[in-house]
Amino acid sequence: MLLSHVADDDFKKQMPIKGAEKFLLWISKRSYSGQLKDNVTLLGKAREFRTIFIDHPQQHILHDWMTYSHLNGTAIIYFVRNGNKVYAPGSIVDPYNPNFRPPFDYKSFYVSPDYRKVHESMKSFVKATLESIKDS
């Protein structure tokens, strides 16, 4: 909505307005900034999380969830059960580590995006996008 009011007509003509995913992809392709592309990646994961678990859970398989405390904070883990076994956490306790495994039997799991990183990415993304409009 903000861009509809502050961007020039050339920018607005090209800007996709049907969905955040299309907009994030489009803005990422317009920029050479690695930082902006990293922000887009994280914001895309946050959008996916919100779509699956918050906005449209009825369209997806029902997940259990748990809060998971770790050294850097707390995360929410959504998972599909595969039995009732519970294990002691392994050596990797950071849920954002790609080798992390939850301490229970699961068919699949998803760790919520780190809200602090999403917030910082959003601030950086908005700043970079507004600067790109100013420069065009």
- Dihedrals φ, ψ of 67, to 5°? -85, 140
Residue 49 in tokens: 């999380």
| CA-to-CA separations, 30 to 11, 45, 127, 136, in angstroms, rounded | 11, 20, 15, 11
Closest CA to 110 of 67, 61, 74, 76: 76
**pLDDT of 106:** 93
Give the model's pLDDT for residue 55: 66
Instruction: Per-residue pLDDT tens, the chain, 136 aa: give them.
Output: 777 778 778 877 878 878 788 888 887 777 767 777 888 888 888 888 887 777 666 777 778 889 998 888 889 998 998 988 888 877 778 899 989 989 889 999 989 888 889 999 889 888 877 877 776 5
Rg over CA atoms, the chain:
18
- The pTM score is 0.68
Judge whether 133 and 8 are in contact, CB under 8 Å. yes
For residue 32, the model assigns a pLDDT of 64
Neighbours of 39 (CB within 10 A): 27
CA 26 to chain centre: 17
Q: Which residues does 116 contact at the CB level (< 8 Å), separation at least 6?
A: 73
